[in-house]
């Protein structure tokens, strides 16, 4: 697949933004921990982000149709840049008595991110030919996972060289460049929704989910998968490493690294064999979910460190082999005009359920032990594989001209 100009700009702009997001998170978590000495205070950073993105996912449909999708994406990035400049200036004067202002700034940035994420996924079908869609999704996922896998490590190294505030200014530079690139995207045509009331605009995506058979199943799948996926948050994996396989904390990094390696290799496989996968979308979605269920349960029962590494790699691999084909199904299941509101609704489900699920799994891990939550996760993924198998005729690529 030859990268066209718009897809290259979208990928480059979002990649710079994603790199900046990780580095600014490293900086903010470090700043809060240094100020307060409290791990609890630092842990409120991801909670604040998830909550803000959930609210954003609910409200973004009010802008879709009134603001061009290209400028909605570029504008949200410009807004993040401005807020981050404010955060950088604030860190010069921040003390333990007013550090809570940092959370307000984080919340605003996350709110703008919650608007940008569904728009990015919506724009891919606008900029890529239908026959290249799965390959484009694979490329986007590969780049995203490489950034996620590497930048936390790079950010930690940069903190040795730079102060938290200096790291923020580096991110400002990345955000400025990202905003510049995204501003050069071509406008995409879409219908306006000015005649609809605000409530009608907000519920439009939910209505599409409930009336489109495959999206209805995918929304249900997302609920189970999101709860199941909370066992892979850093805190639970750390406890598993310490208590279940009884090794030191460096294995926590190894297991996370193996998981991301699985994601990346699966994305590369989808890029190389896109035409083959497109013919068997339902099979890949089912096999990915079924294998994830088996491997997750085995991971929870295992006590051998090297086997844990292999199983973690397998979870990442099969999760991505399911995710990318499923993304293609979503992008071709409705007209492009309705796709943005579909993604905002799915985003609201993901962020809302993740926040609740993380708390739920954390409580269960404390009450019944960390192995139990991995078994529960595996059972939830078994339900997902059953839903996919029962509805496999719906998981196909539908090309809709609009």
Is there a single domain that holds both residue 257 and residue 128? no
Residue 393 burial (CB count, 10 A) = 9
Q: What is the pLDDT of residues 174-206, one digit of tens each?
A: 999 999 999 999 988 665 555 566 677 778 889
Residue 257 lies in a domain: yes
Is there a single domain that holds both residue 234 and residue 371? yes
Residue with the two structure tokens 């990915």: 288
Last residue of a domain, one of 153, 184, 215: 184
**Which pLDDT belongs to residue 402?**
44
Tell me, what DSSP letter sits at residue 165?
H
Is there a single domain that holds both residue 251 and residue 360? yes
Q: What is the pLDDT of residues 325-350, one digit of tens each?
A: 999 999 999 888 888 889 999 988 98
- Give residue 40's pLDDT band: very low, low, confident or very high (50, 70, 90): low
Mean pLDDT, residues 346-373: 87
Residue 191 lies in a domain: no
Is there a single domain that holds both residue 212 and residue 239? yes
Residue 29 lies in a domain: yes
Q: What is the pLDDT of residues 250-292, one digit of tens each?
A: 787 788 888 989 999 999 999 999 999 999 999 999 999 999 9
Among 126, 95, 127, residue whose Cα is nearest residue 190: 126
HSE-up (13 A, CA, CB side) for residue 76: 27
Domain of residue 109 covers 5-184
Is there a single domain that holds both residue 217 and residue 319? yes
Is there a single domain that holds both residue 166 and residue 232? no
Residue 120 lies in a domain: yes
Is there a single domain that holds both residue 173 and residue 214? no
Measured CA to CA in angstroms, residue 97 lies from 32, 35, 94, 101, 206 at distances of 12, 9, 8, 10, 42
C-alpha triplet 185, 191, 194: angle, nearest 5°: 115
Is there a single domain that holds both residue 126 and residue 50? yes
Residue 190 lies in a domain: no
Residue 310 lies in a domain: yes
Is there a single domain that holds both residue 104 and residue 16? yes
Considering 33-47, 173-187, 233-247, the range whose residues carry the highest mean pLDDT is 173-187
Statement: residue 39 has pLDDT above 70 = no
Residue 85 lies in a domain: yes
Last residue of a domain, one of 184, 216, 232: 184
Among 58, 137, 129, residue whose Cα is nearest residue 329: 137
Is there a single domain that holds both residue 153 and residue 216? no
Q: What is the pLDDT of residues 89-138, one digit of tens each?
A: 887 776 766 777 888 888 999 999 888 888 888 899 989 988 889 999 99
Statement: residue 401 has pLDDT above 60 = no
Number of residues that this document lists for the chain: 402
Is-contact 50 357, C-beta < 8 A? no
Percent of the chain with pLDDT over 70: 92
**Which pLDDT belongs to residue 151?**
84
- Give residue 157's pLDDT band: very low, low, confident or very high (50, 70, 90): confident
When divided into structural domains, the chain yields a total of: 2
Distance, CA of 400 to CA of 402 (rounded, Å): 6
Is-contact 197 305, C-beta < 8 A? no
The maximal CA–CA distance of the chain, rounded, in angstroms, is 61
- Give residue 323's pLDDT band: very low, low, confident or very high (50, 70, 90): very high
Mean pLDDT, residues 385-390: 96
Is there a single domain that holds both residue 284 and residue 380? yes
Among 52, 318, 53, residue whose Cα is nearest residue 310: 318
Residue 308 lies in a domain: yes
- Runs of H (alpha helix) within 332-369: 336-368
CATH of the domain at 20: 1.20.1250.20
Is there a single domain that holds both residue 234 and residue 101? no
More confident call, 95 vs 73: 73
Distance, CA of 168 to CA of 106 (rounded, Å): 12
Statement: residue 216 has pLDDT above 80 = yes
**Which pLDDT belongs to residue 224?**
96
- In order, the DSSP letters of 193-256 are -TTS-HHHHHHHHHHHHHHSHHHHHHHHHHHHHHHHHGGGSHHHHHHIIIIIS---THHHHHHH
Last residue of a domain, one of 128, 159, 184: 184
**Which pLDDT belongs to residue 112?**
92
Distance, CA of 160 to CA of 298 (rounded, Å): 38
């Amino acid at each position: 697949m030859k990268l066209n100009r718009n897809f290259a700009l979208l990928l480059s702009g979002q990649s710079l933004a994603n790199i900046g997001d990780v580095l600014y998170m490293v900086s903010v978590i470090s700043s809060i921990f240094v100020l307060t000495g409290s791990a609890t205070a630092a842990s409120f950073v991801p909670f604040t982000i998830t909550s803000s993105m959930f609210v954003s996912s609910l409200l973004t449909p009010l802008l879709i149709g009134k603001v061009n999708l290209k400028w909605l994406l570029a504008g949200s990035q410009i807004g993040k840049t401005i807020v981050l400049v404010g955060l950088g200036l604030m860190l010069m004067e921040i003390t333990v008595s007013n550090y809570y202002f940092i959370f307000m700034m984080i919340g605003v940035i996350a709110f703008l991110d919650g608007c940008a994420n569904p728009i990015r996924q919506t724009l891919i079908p606008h900029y890529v030919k239908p026959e290249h869609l799965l390959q484009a999704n694979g490329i986007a996922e590969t780049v995203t996972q490489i950034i996620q896998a590497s930048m936390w490590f790079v950010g930690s190294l940069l903190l040795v060289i730079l102060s938290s505030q200096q790291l923020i200014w580096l991110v400002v530079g990345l955000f400025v460049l990202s905003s510049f690139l995204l501003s050069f995207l071509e406008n995409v045509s879409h219908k306006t929704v000015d005649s609809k009331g605000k409530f009608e605009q907000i519920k439009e995506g939910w209505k599409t989910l409930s009336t489109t058979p495959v999206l209805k199943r995918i929304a249900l799948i997302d609920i189970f998968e999101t709860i199941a996926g909370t066992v892979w948050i850093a805190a639970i994996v750390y406890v598993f490493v310490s208590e279940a396989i009884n090794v030191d904390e460096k294995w926590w990094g190894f297991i996370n690294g193996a998981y991301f390696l699985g994601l990346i290799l699966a994305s590369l496989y989808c890029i190389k064999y896109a035409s083959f996968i497109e013919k068997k979308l339902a099979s890949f979605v089912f096999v990915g979910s079924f294998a994830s269920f088996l491997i997750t349960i085995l991971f929870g029962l295992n006590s051998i460190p090297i086997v844990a590494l292999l199983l973690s790699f397998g979870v990442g691999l099969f999760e991505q082999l399911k995710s990318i084909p499923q993304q293609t199904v979503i992008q071709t299941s409705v007209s492009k005009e309705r796709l943005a509101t579909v993604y905002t609704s799915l985003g609201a489900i993901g962020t809302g359920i993740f926040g609740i699920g993380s708390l739920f799994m954390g409580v269960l891990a404390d009450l019944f032990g960390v192995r139990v939550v991995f078994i529960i996760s595996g059972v939830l993924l078994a339900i997902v594989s059953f839903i996919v198998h029962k509805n496999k005729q719906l998981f196909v690529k539908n090309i809709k001209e609009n």
